[in-house]
Amino acid sequence: MPSFKVNVIIENKPEIVDPEGDTILNDLILKDKKTSVKKVRSAKMLRFVIDAKDKKSAEKAVLGICNEFRIFNPLVSKVSVETLGA
Amino acid sequence: MKVAVIVFPGSNCDRDMHHVLKDVFHLESQLVWHTDALPKNIDAIVLPGGFSYGDRLRAGVIAAHSPVIKDVKKMAEKGMPVLGVCNGFQILVESGLLPGALLKNTSLNFMCKWTEIIVKNNKTPFTNKLKLDQRIPIAIANGEGRYYADEKTLALLQKNNQIVFTYGEQVNGASLGIAGISNKAGNVVGMMPHPERSAEQIINPKNAKPASLIFESLLNTLGVTA
């Protein structure tokens, strides 16, 4: 069975204040006049390496684990996955 | 009357809580390791502060899966008084015993200072000796202490009188300035500030009496005459 690298990105919902992202934008990027940057949001990324029969099964299993173990708090965060391949 | 103080890997206020319960308020207090079953003859449970599992992933989330939490949930459902302080509050939220979330403080700083909280519900097992709107000088010490809940949850908290404490000043950006809440039944209370660091006059630079009333409320609830 192949192994897949599945990245889990946990990001707070848009209505949640993100002081880390705001600081990076306002006190680093915009201070250097990179005004084309409109927003920065911080997030947490976890990389799972998982054995599965295919990419779809790998992502389904990882999302299931995220829900089962409350890897993210659904009240404040949203989660997305991306697979880097076998 | 016996109180169980749950100890997780990384708890660091367990001994302080044990001391206050035992030496100041003369309750029988027992430290319980998180993989052990709860003793059968307990009357209340305290989840103390600290950094369980080094706050890995999110403060409180890994401890919320500890074996003892199943027992805590059973006792909470039966109406036993349960108090979570700081990391204990975070664990109660992550275990689903209390609603909402505790996010990083708006300043992103670890805050360690004296502040005041205001009593908004004096019907709980931990506030029944306090007056409504009474101010409590109390220590705070946290990095992820900003209580957050969505509008719907906040409306429910208000409707059900579940907001137990609010801050007397802008501290960390918490929704509605919330410092502590209860479950709907009122027997499970979580609070970010530390009553165990504030209930003795020798360590409180202001007035220790209001914080001591949190513990005297528990004595009152348990039917212990001071």
> B183-211: per-residue pLDDT in tens?
999 999 999 999 999 999 999 999 999 99
Average pLDDT over residues A55-82: 94
| CB-CB neighbors (< 8 A) of A76 in chain B | 101, 103, 148
Q: Could you tell me the pLDDT band of residue B226, with boundaries at 50, 70 and 90?
A: low
In this prediction, residue B1 carries a pLDDT of 83
In this prediction, residue A68 carries a pLDDT of 93
| CB-CB neighbors (< 8 A) of A19 in chain B | 104, 106-108
CB contact under 8 A, A75 and B57: no
CB contact under 8 A, A70 and B64: yes
Average pLDDT over residues B103-119: 94
Domain ranges in chain B are: 2-221
Domain ranges in chain A are: 3-85
Instruction: Flag whether the pTM goes above 0.90.
Output: yes
Q: What is the DSSP string of A18-45?
A: -HHHHHHIIIIIGGGT-TT------EEE
- The partner residue sitting opposite A17, judged by closest CB among B94, B99, B173, is B173
Report the alpha-carbon distance of residue B210 to residue B226 in Å, rounded: 16
In this complex, how many residue pairs, one in chain A and one in chain B, have their CB atoms less than 8 Å apart? Answer: 33
Report the alpha-carbon distance of residue B210 to residue B208 in Å, rounded: 6
> B84-93: per-residue pLDDT in tens?
999 999 999 9
In this prediction, residue A86 carries a pLDDT of 62
Q: What CATH number does the domain located at A3-85 have?
A: 3.30.1280.10
From B153, which residue of chain A is nearest by alpha-carbon distance? A75
Distances (CA, A) of A78 to A63, A74, B81, B147: 11, 6, 33, 18
Q: From 3.40.50.880, 3.40.50.300, 3.40.50.150, 3.40.50.620, which CATH number describes the B2-221 domain?
A: 3.40.50.880
Q: Could you tell me the pLDDT band of residue B225, with boundaries at 50, 70 and 90?
A: low
In this prediction, residue A32 carries a pLDDT of 85
Report the alpha-carbon distance of residue B80 to residue B87 in Å, rounded: 20
> B134-163: per-residue pLDDT in tens?
999 999 999 999 999 999 999 999 999 999
Average pLDDT over residues B205-219: 97
Q: Could you tell me the pLDDT band of residue B26, with boundaries at 50, 70 and 90?
A: very high
